[in-house]
Homo-oligomer: A and B are copies of this chain.
Amino acid sequence: MKKLLGDEVSKHNSRESCWVVVHGKAYDVTEFLPEHPGGPRIILKYAGKDATDEFDPIHPPDTLDKYLDKSKHLGEVDMSTMAAEQKDKDPSEEERLERIKRMPALEQCFNMTDFEAVAKRVMKKTSWAYYSSGADDEIVWFRPRVLVDVENVDLSTVMLGTKVDIPFYVTATALGKLGHPEGEVILTRAAWKHNVIQMIPTLASCSFDEIVDARQGDQVQWLQLYVNKNRDITKRIVQHAENRGCKGLFITVDAPQLGRREKDMRSKFSDSGSDVQSTSGDKVDRSQGAARAISSFIDPSLSWRDIPWFMSITNMPIILKGVQRVEDVILAVEAGVHGVVLSNHGGRQLDFARSGVEILAEVMPVLRERGWENKIEVYIDGGIRRGTDIIKALCLGAKGVGIGRPFLYAMSAYGLPGVDRAMQLLKDEMAMNMRLIGCSSMDQLNPSLIDARGLTTHTATVPEDTLHLSCYDPLVSPGDKVMPKL
């Protein structure tokens, strides 16, 4: 078959007819534009051009095969005929490369936040903008026991039937290749080494099979699922995962629409500013808002009525990821699912969503009152950065915690050794802190070891504060004498 020429491709550079080239092949994405979860604008920027560099870190390699109808695969392009993209020299990128040279040694990192600080310095600004987010500072105090034999501390526990060395799992985070060229398989290898479970994200940069193939020995993985409007696709994904050995199905229930992330939007805007054609009210680009909601990738009509169907298509235990109030945990128990993850989606979705640990403090007393605390496994994720954070969650009643971004930061800065050290630091911290609170095994953790009254005061930093303060004019004292004008 004859290859396409650059001249032909470059004509299809508009919303009316939009082709892009990826890895030497051309694709007609005109009809796909409104469906694109990231909005049409970012594609239009590469209309008629080679989009490979932009495409790679944020899409699994099988994306186009899976989601774009074969009829839109236009075949190979004679890349020698494509006009070379003129890349602007980017001073901030040069500074970044300088910073990478001065990057601290891995041994200079002593906690999760250290990795975050290094990642901030060495990552591309846009990648950092995608990963980063605000902090929750939930104030829970310890009430340690003393004079308890803590010579041997056992951090192991059992999650959904799997024995793990420490009660955290690697939770699903999107777009790992933004941080490291190998992507999520690095997390797979580190999880194996430390005998913890990895949850495979729907929106991974590596393909699902790549991540499963990276598994070693009897390593256990779970699947995180965004439910597609097309239930056949969903069914195929779930059954494929079960066939490939996944041991848990975590259905994301808190993302009927992807949140508008303003930091991300502002960062993207400056990237694609040249496409803006108008400042008039009539031509406002709405792609950031409603458009994404109608993407078929995430079904906003997903509801409790769908749970029995999931049970009918898989034998994996089913866990609802993103539950945010006790009433819904009760519904989950009644629906017969095996677990819930209490979460505010890392603070990325809804402003003023309570953190997982806060929701946990609301949930567990109600479950205990009903005698239901063992009817369902309760996890939390978001904001876990310390061994003490894990202990607090378990004292409150969680089975374990999910950790995501800290490992992304460690991976982005140092690759596999970074994630390895991050996990080891958490183990060391947690073992030490177990001794300091006077406990030697997970089953000894209980609510009497903490004072969680501060949780209800919600001291978390509220995002728009900083924004508004930049506009606020404080009252000022009188200035110098105002002289009469002559």
Contacts and interface: CB of A to CB of B under 8 A. Distances in A.
Interface of A: 88, 102-111, 113-114, 116-118, 120, 128-129, 132, 134-135, 137, 139-151, 190, 193, 253-254, 256-257, 259-260, 262-263, 265-266, 269-270, 273-274, 276, 279-282, 284-286, 288-290, 293, 299-304, 306-307, 320, 322-325, 327-328, 331, 349-354, 385-386, 388, 392, 414, 416-421, 424-425, 427-429, 431-433, 435-438, 448, 451, 453-454, 456-458, 461-485
Given A142-B324, A417-B281, A435-B256, A475 B481 contact: no
A262 B110 contact: yes
A465 B137 contact: yes
A260 to B, nearest CB: 6
Nearest to A263: B475
A328 B147 contact: yes
Nearest to A189: B281
Given A104-B482, A146-B253, A462-B139, A428 B288 contact: yes
Contacts of A331: 147
Given A142-B354, A350-B144, A471 B428 contact: no
Most chain B beta-carbon contacts within 10 A, residue among A148, A349, A431: A148
Nearest to A104: B478
A140 B139 CA distance: 18
Contacts of A480: 102-104
Contact of A458 (B141, B320, B438): B141
Given A327-B448, A421-B281, A436-B350, A103 B144 contact: no
Given A107-B284, A464-B385, A350 B470 contact: no
B120 A471 contact: yes
A455 to B, nearest CB: 11
Contacts of A114: 477-478
Contact of A147 (B141, B253, B279, B483): B253
Given A289-B428, A475-B263, A269 B117 contact: no
Contact of A135 (B193, B325, B468): B468
B273 A117 contact: no
Which 6 A-B residue pairings sit nearest by Cβ, starting from the closest?
A281-B420, A289-B428, A273-B482, A281-B417, A117-B477, A466-B474
B414 A279 contact: yes
Nearest to A132: B473
A135 B386 CA distance: 21
Contact of A472 (B134, B323, B350, B479): B134
Most chain B beta-carbon contacts within 10 A, residue among A259, A293, A304, A462: A293
A290 B425 CA distance: 10
B478 A108 contact: yes
B353 A481 contact: no
B432 A293 contact: yes
B147 A304 contact: yes
12 contacts: A106-B280, A117-B467, A137-B462, A139-B352, A144-B324, A146-B328, A148-B303, A257-B435, A262-B475, A263-B475, A273-B482, A385-B468
B284 A421 contact: yes
Contact of A485 (B135, B274, B299, B303): B274
A352 to B, nearest CB: 5
Contact of A289 (B431, B438, B457): B431
Contacts of A285: 107
Nearest to A190: B281
B269 A353 contact: no
Nearest to A145: B328
B462 A454 contact: no
A436 B257 contact: yes
